[in-house]
Amino acid sequence: MSATPASDQSRSDELARLRSVVERTRPVSTADQRVLPVLGVLEDLLPGGGLQRGSVVRVRGPVGATSLAFALVAGPTRAGSWVACVGAAELGWAAAAESGVELDRLVVVRPTDSTLLGVLATLVDAFDVVVWGLSGRASNTDARRLRARARERGAVLVLVDPRRRNVGSDPWPDAADLELRGVGADWSGIGQGWGRLTSRRLVVEVAGRRGATRPRRGELLLPGPTGAPTATASPGDTGSQVDTGPQEGTGSRGDTGPQVDTVVELRGERSA
């Protein structure tokens, strides 16, 4: 079948026309096709490179759950999404701002125990991201209902579980679409009586149901030296300077003598 140039031309025209028809008549993109952008460091870690709209993301410890939650919502707030935090009495807002959260688009809601679930449902209706510190407890039905609502409205429900809990009383009995776990951490910049906490290498395990059945692991500096999450430097690159902490403070370096049995792996060794 030999195609003449003229028929080629008409065929490509036809294709272009059909494409535009497809474009116009395509159903509105469903919620799970859309993704909320996250900070660059987290893109490789998350399946789909962002927060899937309509999903439930559970962030848990044993370490770094709160920081991970801040890092997760930082991207959406920067892109113009609104975030509501429920049951978040003890969050450090300075840390949130340092990890890149636009506090202008963040509200904190403190419902009473009896109104908690109603408030959560209302917020899921309207906000792109709802962070729940698992302050109360959702029953099986409530959890399923909230999840269905999040999926319908294209909201992301982030459950934060910073403290290790006993297994018996899981406040969220339903499954999560994605689970992030901070499983390993070591701090740099601090020694035996000198330096200060400057950054933490955090090992994150990501597991989930959709597109991430096989758990993967990643590493990042969370918080990094400025508080913002940053990618880990290659091993051996220990250029960080030791800071002696607040200027007005009186350090007690040398008072206790050098300690030999340093167990924590230190990356920011004293350069001098």
Partner 1 sequence: MGDRSAPGPVRTLALRCADWPVVALGDRADAPVAVLDADRIVAANPAARALGVVPGLRRREAQARCPSIHLAERDEPGEARAFEVVLAELQQLAPRLEVREPGGCSLPTVGPSRYHGGDRALARLVAQRVRTALATHLGAGRVPCAVGVGIADGPRAAAIAALEDLADHAGRPEPDARGVGVVPPGATAEFLAPLPVERLGVEPPAGSTVADWDELTALLRRLGLRTIGRVAQLGAADLSARFGSLGVTAHRLATGVETEGPVLAAVPPDLRVSAAVDPPAEQVERVAFLAKALADTLHVELAGRGLACTRVLVSAETELGERIERLWRHEGALSPAAIAQRTRWQLEGWLATGRSAGRERGGIISLSLEPDQVVPDDGVQLGFWGDDGAARDRALRALARVQALAGAGSVLVPEWQGGRSPGEQYRLVPIDTVDLAARARGEDRPWPGRIPPPSPAVVEHHPRPVELVDRDGNRVEVGGRGLISAAPARCRVDGGPWSEVRAWAGPWCTDERWWDALAHRRRARVQVVLGPSGRPHPSHAEAHLLALEDRRWWLEASYD
Closest contact distance (angstroms) between CB of 209 and partner 1 is 25
Beta bridge partner(s), residue 56: 157
Phi, psi of 130 (to 5 degrees): -120, 125
Closer to partner 1 at the Cβ: 196 or 209? 196
Joined tokens for residue 248: 């007005």
Helix axes 140-153, 116-126, angle to 10 degrees: 20
Report whether 107 contacts 84 (CB < 8 A): yes
Minimum CB separation of residue 109 from partner 1 in Å reads 6
Query: Is the peptide bond preceding residue 62 cis, with omega within 30 degrees of 0?
Result: yes
Under 8 Å between Cβ of 244 and 253:
yes
Minimum CB distance to partner 1, residue 93 (Å): 4
61 contacts 202 by C-beta, under 8 angstroms: no
For partner 1, the closer of residues 17 and 110 by Cβ is 110
**Cβ nearer to partner 1, comparing 111 with 171:** 111
**Shortest spacing between CB 259 and partner 1, in angstroms:** 7
Q: Which is nearer to partner 1, 2 or 248 (CB)?
A: 248
Report residue 168 as tokens: 């018996």
Between 128 and 142, CB nearer to partner 1? 128
Q: Give the residue with the Cβ less far from partner 1, 173 or 218.
A: 218
**Helix or strand holding residue 27 (H, E):** none
- Which is nearer to partner 1, 93 or 171 (by Cβ)? 93
Q: 189: alpha, beta or left, given left = phi > 0 and alpha = psi -120 to 50?
A: left
- Cβ at position 42, least distance to partner 1 in Å: 16
How many angstroms separate the CA atoms of 39 and 79, rounded?
10
Question: Of 109, 87, 91, 111, nearest to 99 (Cα)?
Answer: 91
Beta bridge partners, 129, equal 83, 156
DSSP tag of 267: S
Q: Specify the 3-state DSSP secondary structure of 43.
A: helix
Q: How far is the CB of 250 from partner 1 (least distance, A)?
A: 4
CB of 214 to partner 1, least distance (A): 21
